[in-house]
Every structure is written in C-alpha cells, then in structure tokens.
A and B are shown apart, each in its own frame.
Chain A
Amino acid sequence: MNIEWYIVLSSLLFAVGAMGILLRRSPIVILLCLELMLNAGNLALVAFSKMVGNQEGQVFAIVVMVVAACEVVIGLGLIVAIFRRKLPLDVDELTELRG
C-alpha cells in the first residue's frame, strides 16, 4: 500500500476525533475522542517513519503513547473527583471557570 493511504486514513481518524469532541458532552467520551486524535497522530508518525526508512518516528510514537497514558490518568482522576463532589458529568454544566 502506498504511504498516502495511511496518511489519508490518519487525517480521517483525526477529523472524526475532532468532530466527537465538538459533538459530545460527557467528559469520558471527550477523553475517548482525544485518544482517537492522538492515535491518528501516531499513525501518521509511523507511516512517515516507514516512508523515509528511519526508526526515529516510531520512537516519537512511543513517547506520544506515554503522554496519552498520562493524560488519561489525569483526566480520569478529574472525572472521579467531579463525580465524588456530586457535580454533573456534563461539560455544558461545568461552567464555573467561565469568565
């Protein structure tokens, strides 16, 4: 398969993830959509690494994976904290930081 197939698939997945963040209101699903976008970036990194025949892109993908794991852990911790304080799990109602 040509590399451009992988790149087009990656941008399609990124667009679906961005659409989900705009569309959904539950923080858990928004975190899932963030995962989609990070994974689309990973796919592009690995595809370009194959294109130039250099393994450094794969190392970048692994570091992105580490950052995504950290983001998930912090995000889920925040969701549990929100739930413990009996606040609504809905980003349209969590508006206390609005200026």
Chain B
Amino acid sequence: MEAVLFFAAALGALGGAVGVVALRNPFYGVLALIVHLFSLAVLFLLLSAAFVAAAQVVVYAGAVMVLYVFVVAYVGGDTEPVGDPIPGQKLLAPLLGAAVFIELSIAVLGSSLTALGTEGTDVGAGFGNPAAIGKLLLEDFLLAFEASSILLLLAAVGAVVLASKRSGMTVESAAGPASAGTPGESRPAEAGPAAPTGAAR
C-alpha cells in the first residue's frame, strides 16, 4: 500500500515538474506546479511529517499559487516564442540537467550513509505533529523563528514598494538601446515627471 502511494505521488510530482518546464503557457505551468505541490504533500505524509504536509498544502498550494495566478492573469499569459537565442540551448540544458541528476545521485548513494537503505527510524505516533514542531520552533529554534518573521515582514514591505504605482525607479532607461527594438515602451506621460523624482531620491 505504501509503495503504491509512493509511486503514485512520485509520478504526480515528476509529471508536475516536467509540466512546469515543458508547458508553453505560464498559466498551465502554474496549474502543473499545484499538482506537483499536492503530490509532494502526500510524500511528506508518507514520511510522517504531518505538519509540513499541511503547511505545504495551505501555504504553497493555497496562498502562494493564488498569488501566481493573479500575477499571470495581470501580466497576461503570453506563450513565449519558440527558437533559442543561444545556439544549442535546447540541447545543452537537458544534458546539464542530466549531469546534475547523475552527480547528485552519485554523491548521495555513494556516501557511507548505511541508513539510506532502510525505511528510516521507527518513529512514534507523535512524530512531526503540530505540537512537536511547535515546541521545537518555540524552544530550540526561537531565533530562526523570529528571524523568519522579520524576513516575512521585510518581504511584504518590499513587495509593496516594488509593485506600487509611484515611479521610484526612473523610466528613461527603458528607452535605452537595449529595448529600442520593441514597439510601444516608455509612456511619455510618465517619463517626464519620473526624471525629477529619480533625481530627488
């Protein structure tokens, strides 16, 4: 039973990952990532990490993916053009991915960790439940807990600053030679007042 669940979840996780890489439309990529995250939550449950699985589903598949869907809907899910700007990129990237996989497998399976071949330690029923994880977070890892709360606050403030309408960054660089080829950039109405703001900052 456990093996069946493992292989089903592993297939889901792998299929979701390949879907993210292969699908042209970013919106379908986000949906494939949701499949991947749910399958990973099943794997976490198999590894008796109930709280991590629940957090995975609620935080990742819930909140973060909603954010992704909103942004993809906002910027428009343009399918990206075919054709590789770097010659041979489509051939070299899978080769490099395969090399990374082989290297990681050799590094892990060739290590002297004899416990890798076992099913892991026999853990009790309370292993990985919210009470145990919460106790660890608030006692042994209090510093990491507080640091991550500050990190979350900074990220929220940073996102508001980055995505706000106020033009903090100057726009005239958009009309530079790098993007001169694409039509319709650098709205002139905004480019004018943006320059003094940038200078004042």
Contact = CB atoms under 8 A, between A and B. Distances in A.
Bound together: yes
B8 interface: no
Interface of B: 2-3, 6, 10, 13-14, 17-18, 20-21, 26, 29-30, 33, 36-37, 40, 43-44, 46-49, 51-52, 55-56, 59-60, 63-64, 67-68, 71-72, 74-75, 78, 80, 85, 89-90, 92-94, 96-98, 100-101, 104-105, 108-109, 113, 115-123, 127-128, 132-133, 136-137, 140-141, 144, 148, 151-152, 154-156, 158-163, 165, 169, 171, 173-174, 176, 178-179, 182, 184-187
Contacts of B51: 58, 62
A33 B20 contact: yes
Contact of A39 (B37, B104, B151, B184): B37
Contacts of B133: 55, 58-59, 62
Q: Chain B binding site: helix, strand, loop or mixed by DSSP?
A: helix
Interface of A: 1-9, 11-20, 22-26, 28-29, 31-33, 35-36, 39, 42-43, 46-47, 49-53, 55-56, 58-59, 61-63, 65-74, 76-81, 83-90, 92-96
A83 B187 contact: no
A97 B35 CA distance: 35
Given A52-B121, A65-B59, A87-B174, 6 more contacts: A24-B21, A26-B78, A51-B121, A52-B115, A77-B160, A95-B178
Nearest to B97: A19
B28 to A, nearest CB: 10
Contacts of A14: 100-101, 104
A1 to B, nearest CB: 5
Nearest to B120: A50
